[in-house]
Amino acid sequence: MGWIKNIREEIAIIRERDPAIHSSMEVFLYPSFRVMINYRIAHKLYLKEHYFLARWMSQRAARKTGIEIHPGAKIGTGFFIDHGHGVIIGETAIVGNNVTLFQGVTLGGTGKEHGKRHPTIEDNVMISAGAKVLGSFTIGANSKIGAGSVVLSEVPPNSTVVGIPGRVVKRNNMSMPREDMDQVNFPDPVKTDIANLQQADSALTNRLLELEEQIRELKREQDKNEL
């Protein structure tokens, strides 16, 4: 039966990606599990244009889990929300297969625009805690979004993004996000920029000291000639 298959898939996903789990029975306590079972039903109702009932189910799930998924959002297989409180997924969001979100993630819009107003997340993407992805653009496959980042524009596949606003700091990652689940060890562009500024400042200071020494040498030569 379809619902039994869905439950088995959700159990397998959580056991694969959460090292804290010790038994399959624990899965039934997970907000991610509860909200996804609810979302699958609400999404079918939404597609049949039972909008009120679909929204009622999604809002009920949001109150119980702290995860708000609009029933109009399109979510693929292998989707996992770790912890999950504060996650928001908008109506026109499209989420591919094997995507992982952490707590506090928003897949939102930028205002009251109409049509496709939420992001598209391609396969095998990991979005770390507190990150905000706002607008109608695509996060390319196999990418990682760093914790607390605010992403406002397109991200190429196989990228690592950090910062506010988010910018790509690494391309062509070797490991798949769902394999390592590392949301900490990202490149630090601010630290790199500061190091570059320090190097430039040191070079300018050394050059200034050299010029001052040359001026003193010229003055000494001038004094000798006057004598």
| Residues 129 and 109 reside in one and the same domain | yes
**Element (H or E) spanning 2, and its range?**
helix 2-17
Number of domains in the chain: 2
Do 75 and 178 lie in a common domain? Answer: yes
3-state secondary structure of 74: strand
Same domain, yes or no: 172 and 199? no
Of 194, 133, 124, the closest CA to residue 166 belongs to: 133
Q: Are residues 181 and 227 in the same domain?
A: no
Instruction: Judge if 179 and 192 occupy the same domain.
Output: no
- Burial label, 189 (beta-carbon count in 10 A; 0-12, 13-18, 19+): middle
Q: What is the pLDDT of residues 32-56, one digit of tens each?
A: 888 988 999 999 999 999 999 999 9
Same domain, 148 and 221: no
CATH of residue 41's domain is: 2.160.10.10
Q: Assess whether 81 and 127 both reside in one domain.
A: yes
Q: Which domain holds residue 64?
A: 2-187
From the list 173, 176, 149, 146, the residue with the least C-alpha distance to 159 is 173
Predicted TM-score of the model (pTM): 0.72
pLDDT digits (tens, 9 = 90+) for 73-104: 999 988 989 888 899 999 999 999 999 999 99
Tell me, yes or no, whether 175 and 211 share the same domain: no
Is 67 found in the same domain as 96?
Answer: yes
Residues 15-36 have a mean pLDDT of 79
Asked if 103 and 122 count as a contact pair (C-beta separation under 8 A), the reply is no
What does the pLDDT average to over 202-225?
82
Statement to judge: residues 120 and 212 lie in one domain: no
Q: Are strands 167-171 and 159-162 parallel, antiparallel or unpaired?
A: antiparallel
For residues 196 and 159, membership in a common domain is answered with no
Instruction: Please tell me whether residues 78 and 147 are part of one structural domain.
Output: yes
The amino acid present at 137, given as its one-letter code, is F
